[in-house]
Homo-oligomer: A and B are copies of this chain.
Amino acid sequence: MQKYFITKEEMKNKCITSSDCNHIKNVMRFTKGDLVIVSDGETEFEAKLLEVLKNSVSFTLVKEIKNNNELPYFVDIYQGYPKGDKMSDIAKHSTELGISSLYGVLTKRSVVKLETDKAQNKTERFNKIMKEASEQSNRKVLAKFGGIYKLKDIDFSKYDYKILCFEESAKEGELKNFKTIISSIKNGERLAIFIGPEGGIDLDEVSYLKDLGFIEAALGPRILRTETASLYCLSSISYESELKK
């Protein structure tokens, strides 16, 4: 069943007024009586459509859905801003895999230099991608793109664990840190993962992050592309914390 993340206001009024109306009316071609899922990120319902108009879609709640599809703890990824359109793919796939928030980070070796208004447009676009991916992958909570920042402007103090994915660690045969941390995080805690851009992270930045409490960790013995690293982390976290044997 098609899912829509709506605001708490829309849930209270039982009426959608966002651009989802266009999706409901013109893309899915839903009409009166059709069933969808609506979620405000906290509660989720099967809903029957009452009136489908261009700018408003009213509905009535049929039954609450108990959905517990979220990772047991919060995983935020700080991605060194990559070239081309790779950030779109990272936004899409990391949402399917359970990320809480994704951030773009401008580091010394980032090729991309973003002006403020362009960064704002990108943030909106990545949030749109993550909303659609949250709906498609049946997330309970809407994954967010938190914005694009310079490394030194980010406050990492809210995190319980901080991992720095570092390919030099892989070359030195370090294969313990990632699994040791991932297997000790408790439900509800907060993990930050930092991934460098294509050119890797400058050694000054490595020192800066280590001073902030980041632990260097290798993601296996092979060298991963920057856009693969986030998917490795989130897949492993799901495997460790959500699958049983």
Binding site for B on A (CB under 8 A): 68-69, 89, 92-93, 96-98, 136-139, 175-176, 178-180, 182-183, 219-225, 227-228, 231-232, 235-236, 238-240, 242-245
Contact = CB atoms under 8 A, between A and B. Distances in A.
A232 B230 CA distance: 11
Contacts of A138: 222-223
6 contacts: A89-B89, A92-B225, A136-B223, A137-B223, A182-B239, A219-B238
Contacts of A222: 69, 96-98, 137-139
Given A97-B222, A138-B223, 16 more contacts: A69-B222, A92-B225, A93-B225, A93-B227, A96-B228, A97-B224, A136-B225, A179-B239, A180-B245, A220-B238, A231-B231, A231-B232, A232-B238, A235-B235, A235-B236, A236-B243
A192 to B, nearest CB: 19
A18 to B, nearest CB: 23
Nearest to A225: B96
